[in-house]
Amino acid sequence: MAAEHLPYKGIRVVEFTHMVMGPTCGMVLADLGAEVIKVEPTGGDNTRKLLGSGAGFFPMFNRNKKSIAVDLQTPEGRELVLKLIATADVVSENFKPGTMKKLGLDYASLSARNERLIYVSHKGFLPGPYDHRTALDEVVQMMGGLAYMTGRPGDPLRAGTSVNDIMGGVFGALGVMAALAERGQTGRGQEVQSALYENNVFLVAQHMMQYAVTGKPAAPMPSRISAWAVYDVFNVKNNEQIFLAVVSDTQWAIFCDAFGLSDLKSDQRLMSNNDRVLARDWMMPLLRAEMARYSAAELSAAFERHGLPFAPITRPHDLLDDPHLKQTGGLAPITLPDGRETLTALLPFTLGGERPGIRLNPPRLGEHSAELLRELGYDEPAIHAMQAQQIIR
């Protein structure tokens, strides 16, 4: 998508973020055209150095951003950053409560200088009895009911991605968008807060409402009574697995015809979806035995041919070669800070038929420091002096 047509072109965001939640907020705004400047310590955001499950954090959530590396413990560094913030529409942060205040970079201090400033904080909890606690995605999944719903009974299990960090960042960006719209009417900025715990509660709210409606606690997903009779993973030929679903009476008839199951189609005990839900104890073993005669590829072809829902059991790295994503532009090339090239997933929507794309690769540490200082009015001797004193990098 052409940069000049992106909706937040001309908006400048200065972010003090690390890990996933805060960077996600900045990435969403950057993908949509904002100029997002990542302020890092001179040693670099520690997220750059993570191993294992954290190795993808920095390159995923810091694309389309500029990097300036500054020592905020020095008066010169703080002065530089205040000059930068004076040019900004939005400040974003996700550090522990009190960190930004110690630096004089909290909302009260900055809004006194600029009433148009929008300030978004990403926290573990919104203000209240829990807000002193240290929160992580897994912490709030456990205390917010998500791990209970994901795991088997007695075996709570976190979701397989950073759902609260990512969605918390998305909601932070949504709050910024709302604040920008309101500023357009009032001329004033405001503070926006997004939190892991409250995000998690929103994600499980359907199960809370299920209890409110039925009076019965929601069962963990692996042991739930599904609303659909056929909605499960099947073990099939060649030790493969595939997810198959038949979720309406029309689909049931098509499914039975496709696989020659005329006896089941005419069985009076299986006439409606609710009948089939109640018959799962004896029906599913029959269907599992029938489906086990086929390979996953054969079942995929048959289900696709007849318009029935199905899904291969795919590992995340397999998606880098997914034909649909590649053909529709859902993956875009990027260069990692170490120079290697790969593909990354874009935001999951289109604007005018196009996906917001990559304008800037995930930045090298301090890649844009000198450029931004020149823009703020620092001359070359001043920049070199600050580099020599390790105030910037």
Instruction: Determine the length of the chain.
Output: 393
Is residue 308 a contact partner of residue 334, using CB atoms and an 8 Å limit? no
Task: With a cut of 90, say whether residue 126 has pLDDT above it.
Answer: yes
Q: What's the average model confidence in pLDDT over 70-78? A: 97
- For the segment 81-98, the average pLDDT, to the nearest whole number, is 96
pLDDT at 79 > cutoff 80: yes
What fold does the segment set 3-203+322-388 form as a domain? Rossmann fold (3.40.50)
Q: How far apart are CA 1 and CA 5, in angstroms?
A: 7
What integer pLDDT is reported at residue 144 of this predicted model?
98
Which pLDDT value is given to residue 31?
A: 98
- Which neighbouring-strand residues pair with 231? 245
226 band by pLDDT with thresholds 50, 70 and 90: confident
Share of the chain above pLDDT 70, in %: 99
**Residues 309, 304: Cα–Cα separation, whole Å:** 7
Q: Which residues contact 115 (CB under 8 A, 6 or more apart)?
A: 187, 188, 189
Supply the pTM of this predicted model: 0.95
The first and second tokens of residue 131, run together, are 């807000």
* Residues of the chain above pLDDT 90, percent: 97
Distance (Å, rounded) from C-alpha 287 to C-alpha 264? Answer: 10
What pLDDT score was predicted for residue 324?
Answer: 97
* Cα–Cα distance for residue pair 369/376, rounded to 1 Å: 11
User: Taking a C-beta distance cutoff of 8 angstroms, is the pair 120, 175 a contact?
Assistant: yes
Task: For residue 16, give the nearest of 129, 112, 93, 100 by alpha carbon.
Answer: 93
Run of H or E including 194: strand 191-195
Residue 124 and residue 131: Cα distance in Å, rounded? 7
Residues of the chain with CATH 3.40.50.10540: 3-203+322-388
* Buried-state track 243-268, b at ≥16 Cβ within 10 A, e below 16: bbbbbebebbebbbeebebeebbeee
Mention every residue, 6+ apart, whose C-beta is less than 8 A from residue 387.
393
All CATH 3.30.1540.10 domain ranges in the chain, comma separated: 226-315
pLDDT at 227: 87
| pLDDT mean over 360-382 | 98
> What's the pLDDT at 1?
61
For residue range 280-335, list pLDDT tens digits in order.
Answer: 999 999 999 999 999 999 999 999 999 999 999 999 999 999 999 999 999 999 99
Q: Which of 337, 339, 338, 357 is nearest to 347 (CA)?
A: 357
Residue 3 has pLDDT above 90, yes or no: no
Q: In angstroms, rounded to a whole number, what is the distance separating the alpha carbons of residues 201 and 196? A: 9
Q: Can you read off the two tokens belonging to residue 182?
A: 């309101």
**Res. 40: pLDDT tops 90:** yes
- pLDDT band with cut points at 50, 70 and 90 for residue 5: confident
Per-residue pLDDT tens over the stretch 167-185: 999 999 999 999 999 999 9
Class of domain 226-315: alpha beta
Tell me the β-bridge partners of 230: 246
Beta bridge partners of 16: 93
Average predicted confidence (pLDDT) for the chain: 97
